[in-house]
Amino acid sequence: MVDAAPAADAKLWDRLGLRRGRDPYILRGILWCGRCGHRMYPVSMAGGGRRSYGCPYRCHGLVDAAGIEQLVGDAACRQLPFGVPDEYRSAFYAELLVRVAVDAAGGLVFTWRTGCEVGDAAALPVMEVVAR
């Protein structure tokens, strides 16, 4: 992992080997449906510009992208002693998280690579990846 570091130094982030991302769907590949166990995919509404994530089997309604990205960002911040620039969030979340599952009630179940978990204790998944 990374020692405490200033957030804004782009060279530092590049040196860490994190790819800068332009994908606005920063949870792409990380977000899973907790009900059917499939990866959720980005959905952009024509015209309105609203971004969402959806389950391919429609287990639940579309999840508002900005809202869930904020929740994941807040949870990630609790794991880190420093901030992460927006363009590195996607790569950084991939380092931190195995996955984030959206359960049937819309709650989030985090599986961290470090082995610590945040979320509903009753809904914790088996850890798929423990420390790297």
Q: Which residues bind Zn ion (CB under 5 A)?
A: 33, 35-36, 55, 57, 59
Do residues 115 and 99 touch, judged by C-beta distance below 8 A?
no
- Which CB atom, from 55 or from 100, has the smaller least distance to Zn ion? 55
- Which CB atom, from 21 or from 34, has the smaller least distance to Zn ion? 34
Torsion region of 29: left, alpha or beta (phi above 0 gives left; psi -120 to 50 gives alpha): left
- Which CB atom, from 52 or from 91, has the smaller least distance to Zn ion? 52
- Rounded least distance, CB 25 to Zn ion, Å: 17
- Rounded least distance, CB 86 to Zn ion, Å: 28
| Nearby residues of 94 by Cβ (< 8 Å), 6 or more positions away | 29, 30
